[in-house]
Chain A
Amino acid sequence: MRALFLALLLRDLRLAARRRLDAMLPLVFFVVAVSLFPLGVGPETQTLRQIAPGVVWVCALLATMLSVQQVYAGDQADGSLEQLLLAPQPAIVVAAAKSLAHWLVNGAPLVLAAPVVGLLFDLSPAALGALVISLLLGTPVLSLLGGLGAALTLGLRSAGMLLILIVLPLTMPVLIFGAGAVVAVEAGQSPAGHYSLLGALLIATLIGAPLATAAALRISTE
């Protein structure tokens, strides 16, 4: 089971390394989209600090949605998905490996870029820390839910739009608690409760999403 997981993970990372431009597009979108807000809203630091958590989290969510559409589409188009589903190991291994690869390529760079874009909004060091921690806990949930949406819409017409419509409502709790953690720190409160809820969401998604994704993949390839 571990061999398939590692083989698929390493293959996807290798493919991302060889398509660096494609892999960087969600990060570029994230940085550009976040950067537009200070330009559009104006240099009022109090306003920027207030909107920063929501803006950064919404942009991270949209950047993830952009990249998640390709999680299974390429494998389905070239026949690799059939082979993966025929592996001796259950399809849940495929779903878990693909989601981890997606997070490492697309989610982790957002987490790393968050302190830099946070500076555009004049966030305090404590708020920047909360932003990074909340993204660290929340972006894997987005990758897992995005993988589920990608599997559910595989091969459908308008799959990209359908995926967004299916996944966005599911990500609302992550968005609320993720942005809420930063808001709490800015207000001088403890973000521990938000972290706990994000952690609980991550655990629940880690358990449920790969199972559901595996079932969706089987249905999509019928």
Chain B
Amino acid sequence: MREAYDQHGRLVFSLCMAALSNRQDAEDATQQVFTRAWRSRETYDPTRPLGGWLTGITRRVVADTFAARDRQRQLVDATSGQHQREDRQLSEQVVDRVLVHEALERLGPPQDEILRMAFVQDLPQGQIAERLGMPLGTVKSHVHRGLARLRAALEVNDG
């Protein structure tokens, strides 16, 4: 359990932060994700990535948290008769972003830095090579291998 938490705590917490934008709520939600995971561990299929399973639980906890917030707001708004129930959840884009950036951090140097330069700062690869004093071919191959690894990280979001 500790291992699962050490490996995926940041991912789960970052997902919760991205969705809930409130540290306390995100901490509560993260705690719920792992306690729920533990209690329903019999449903975990060990042949599947643990991160994907935890991401699925995170989605449900986030949805529950939004639902709880909505209900609270409804209580508050009950007198004004206003019901604003947008069904907010952890969107695919947000999950993608957190998964990708989390995996990016794990890539380690120099690949993470090269990918940042190429896709965050949008620098041409020739310029990256120049800056890092690396052959262009090396930069290219880091970009390609890095993208492939990040792509693999997304698979956990695709069930």
A binds B: no
